[in-house]
Amino acid sequence: MDFSNTEEQQMLQESVQKFVHKSYDFATRNQIIASEKGFSQENWDLFAELGWLTVPFKEEDGGFGGSAVDLVV
């Protein structure tokens, strides 16, 4: 059984890793959580722009058509 990531999963994983490494260290995370909103609208806008929020939705609905595995990559 092959548990290797698909090319799309690898791209998604690299994109998330790059974001976390560059923009979401523990200090930043704690600052966001402690803010009045408790989340970063800028981050969520970026997630949408990068297509991360479309992963679980069907392609015919404008999504990625991803599986449960794609969500945890």
- pLDDT single digits (tens) 33-71: 999 999 999 999 999 999 999 999 999 999 999 988 888
Tell me the per-residue pLDDT of 7-23, one tens digit each, with 9 for 90 and over.
Answer: 999 999 999 999 999 99
Report residue 36 as tokens: 């009045």
Q: Which pTM does this prediction carry?
A: 0.82
Q: Report yes or no: 16 and 52 within 8 Å, Cβ to Cβ.
A: yes
Whether 1 shows a pLDDT value over 90: the answer reads no
Q: Which domain holds residue 42?
A: 7-72
The answer to whether the beta carbons of residues 24 and 33 sit under 8 Å apart is: no
> 73 to each of 10, 21, 30, 34, 63, how far by Cα in Å?
8, 16, 23, 27, 16
Query: Is 49 a domain residue?
Result: yes
1 found inside a domain: no
Q: Is 29 among the domain residues?
A: yes
Residue 59 is given by DSSP the state G
Total structural domains in the chain? 1
Q: At 22, which amino acid appears?
A: K
Q: Is residue 2 part of a domain?
A: no
Residue 46 within any structural domain of the chain: yes
Structural domain contains residue 52:
yes
Residue 61 lies in a domain: yes
Mean pLDDT over 20-32 rounds to 96
pLDDT given for residue 2 in this prediction: 86
